[in-house]
Amino acid sequence: MEHHANFIPWQMLAKKYQIELRIVPMNKDGDLDLTELKSLIDHKTQLLAVSHISNTIGTIHPLDEITGLAKNKKIPILIDAAQSACHFEIGVDSLNCDFITFSGHKMFGPFGVGILQVSEKYLGDMTPFNLGGGIIKDVQIGKTSFLNFPHNLDAGTPNVSGVIGLSAALKLISKIGKSDMESHLNNLTLFALDQLSQVPGIEIIGNPKKRIGIISFNLKNIHPHDIASFLNKDGIALRAGMHCTQPLLRSLGLHATARISFSIYNTEKEINKLILSLKDLIKFWS
């Protein structure tokens, strides 16, 4: 279910330290199998990592339930909030987790900058993952000591412009209001699902219990990349491909999908335009 960014690092760690990596399966609707999750968590479990929202299907995972399961067994939890940080109130306290990560470019910020929030409980465990200037407290020939978190994680020349850009993006989001943004995205998602269901030959990928902002689909006999090229000519930008979720697509027996995702600037009028464009393409292709 996870984006490669929340999968490959664990896979590599598992290989390096000979740790067992357990994958929670999902059902055909695109919901995580929580019964299976319960059976996968035991006294050996060192960390539970899960996204808040699936970047391919748009599933909003039931974090209350998931974090509850982990907390009961005193397992630290990491939440990949890349898809939710822009329009959901997040934080290690409000989401009852230990680590939160998200990236700037999904919330009107620049590329190459993001945030890792760590709960107080684990601050002391955060040691440098790469080394260089800017993270040092004291260096002697025989030993080095480091600044405290978060300053010990930002070795080398800092990405100053990126951080300033992200700060400006966060101020903008705060000004607009996340609650209004979530409401707008929710309305657009429901409207789009209703309209898309009327497109002949469309297969909407997944039918999760809760979803927002992201819808993957396929059209009969038209490859997602060809869909993207034609819609591009109508001024509609969507992504085609595997969306950095190859295991997810394989589990659904798919090779690629077309994916639409919404933001605060999108409108119902644009969704109507999308539907017309898809119908036009289907007519042309036949």
Partner 1 sequence: MKKQKLQQLYKNEILPENENPYHFQEPLEASFSIEAYNSMCGDKYTLYFDTCEGQISSVYFYGIGCALSKASISIMCKNIENLNVEDITDLSNKFILGINPEHPNNDSNKKIQMLQKLIDLDGREDCIKLGWETLKNHFENNEL
We find the least distance from the C-beta atom of residue 3 to partner 1, in angstroms, to be 15
CA 19 to chain centroid, in Å, comes to: 24
Q: Which is nearer to partner 1, 167 or 229 (CB)?
A: 229
Distance CA 97, CA 163 (A): 24
Question: Which residues, 6+ apart, have CB-to-CB distance to 196 below 8 Å?
Answer: 202, 204, 215, 217, 275, 278
Number of residues that bind partner 1 (CB under 8 A): 19
Q: What is the Cα Rg of the chain in Å?
A: 21
- The correct pick among 57, 70, 90, 242 for binding partner 1 (CB under 8 A) is 242
Evaluate whether 57 touches 214 at the Cβ level (below 8 Å).
Answer: yes
Of 190, 241, 268, 225, nearest to 56 by C-alpha is 241
- The correct pick among 145, 161, 187, 232 for binding partner 1 (CB under 8 A) is 232
86 is catalytic: no
Report the half-sphere exposure of 248 (CA within 13 A, side-chain side).
27
Residue 90 touches partner 1, criterion: CB under 8 A: no
Distance CA 238, CA 83 (A): 16
Measured from the Cβ of residue 227, the count of other Cβ atoms closer than 10 Å reads 24
Residue 240 touches partner 1, criterion: CB under 8 A: yes
- The correct pick among 241, 273, 275, 279 for binding partner 1 (CB under 8 A) is 241
Name the one range near partner 1 by CB under 8 A: 12-20, 25-33, 149-157, 218-226. Answer: 218-226
Q: Which is nearer to partner 1, 43 or 233 (CB)?
A: 233
Q: Taking CB under 8 A as the criterion, which residues in 251-270 touch partner 1?
A: 255-256
CB < 8 Å & 24+ apart, contacts of 43-46: 43/73, 44/20, 45/70, 45/73, 45/75, 46/19, 46/75, 46/76
Q: Mask 170-209, x = binds partner 1 (CB under 8 A)?
A: ----------------------------------------
Residue 11 touches partner 1, criterion: CB under 8 A: no
Q: Which is nearer to partner 1, 78 or 240 (CB)?
A: 240
Catalytic residue among 19, 136, 163, 244: 244
Measured from the Cβ of residue 216, the count of other Cβ atoms closer than 10 Å reads 30
Catalytic residue positions? 244
Q: What is the contact surface with partner 1 in residues (CB under 8 A)?
A: 222-226, 229-230, 232-234, 240-242, 246, 249, 255-256, 284-285
